């Protein structure tokens, strides 16, 4: 009897081992779900709502862990990235201004740089306000008022960045003019994306927040 039980046990062990070996390749082939992969997919889909989806995804996918599936957090980070780009632009303009001190053509360039700096300074202030406003949401009418402020400020920031290059219409074409115009155009893309993601947040989740009054 004992021998028979031992024989049966050995048979069951071998059967289980064979089953495990048969299923092992399938088990190994199944990869566990990666939350960051899901978050980057969310960012990629959200960026499709912007005018510059490639720039949007490239600049924001590194923040996938912080974003997860939170469209408000994604919009805040997008504004922060744009804010950083705008501040870098102001630093660059300051450097160029120190190198432009002559009269004539250089005087026109210096004036254009001064105006460009001022418009970007305004844009930086408006984006900082937007970030601060999005840190603590209310509900109902308060949420609606907050998001209206953010949309207004981000639109104004974009307009200010566009205005930066207006003064260069009277500046002769050259490396400095091309440099400033190209950099300003690049920053505008980030700000445009930030505004689009704010609008997307309001569209996707704003109705729910407004309803909780």
**pLDDT score, position 213:** 47
**pLDDT score, position 104:** 61
The mean pLDDT value for 139-159 works out to 94
DSSP string of 55-100, one letter each residue: HHHHHHGGGHHHHTT-HHHHHHHHHHHHHHHHHHHHHHHHHHHHT-
- Residue 46: exposed, middle, or buried by beta-carbon count in 10 A (0-12, 13-18, 19+)? buried
Rounded to whole angstroms, how far apart are CA atoms 53 and 190?
10
The mean pLDDT value for 180-207 works out to 92
Strands (E), the chain: none
The mean pLDDT value for 180-198 works out to 97
Instruction: Encode pLDDT of 31-85 as tens digits.
Output: 444 555 788 999 999 999 999 999 999 999 999 999 999 999 999 999 999 999 9
Contact 161, 35 (CB under 8 A): no
Closest C-alpha among 75, 209, 195, 70 to residue 142: 209
Average pLDDT, the chain: 83
Instruction: Encode pLDDT of 16-36 as tens digits.
Output: 545 444 544 554 454 444 555
Contact 195, 182 (CB under 8 A): no
Rounded to whole angstroms, how far apart are CA atoms 92 and 124?
14
Stated as kind and residue range, the H or E segment containing 194 is: helix 175-211
User: Which range has the top average pLDDT, 97-101, 187-191, 202-206?
Assistant: 187-191
Tokens of 112: 């254009």
pTM value? Answer: 0.79
């Amino acid at each position: 009897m004992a021998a028979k039980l031992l024989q049966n046990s050995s048979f069951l062990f071998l059967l289980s081992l064979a089953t495990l070996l048969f299923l092992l390749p399938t088990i190994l082939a199944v990869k566990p779900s990666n939350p960051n992969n899901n978050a980057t997919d969310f960012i990629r889909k959200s960026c499709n709502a912007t005018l510059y989806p490639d720039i949007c995804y490239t600049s924001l996918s590194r923040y996938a862990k912080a974003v997860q599936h939170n469209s408000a957090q994604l919009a805040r980070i997008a504004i922060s990235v744009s804010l950083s780009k705008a501040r870098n632009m102001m630093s660059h303009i300051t450097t160029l201004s120190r190198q432009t001190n002559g009269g004539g053509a250089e005087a026109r360039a210096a004036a254009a740089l001064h105006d460009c700096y001022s418009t970007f300074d305004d844009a930086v202030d408006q984006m900082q306000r937007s970030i601060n406003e999005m840190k603590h949401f209310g509900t109902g009418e308060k949420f609606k008022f907050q998001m209206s402020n953010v949309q207004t400020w981000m639109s104004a920031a974009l307009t200010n960045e566009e205005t930066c290059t207006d003064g260069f219409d009277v500046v002769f074409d050259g490396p400095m003019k091309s440099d400033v115009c190209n950099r300003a155009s690049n920053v505008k893309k980030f700000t445009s994306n930030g505004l689009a993601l704010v609008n997307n947040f309001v569209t996707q989740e704003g109705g729910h927040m407004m309803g909780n009054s």
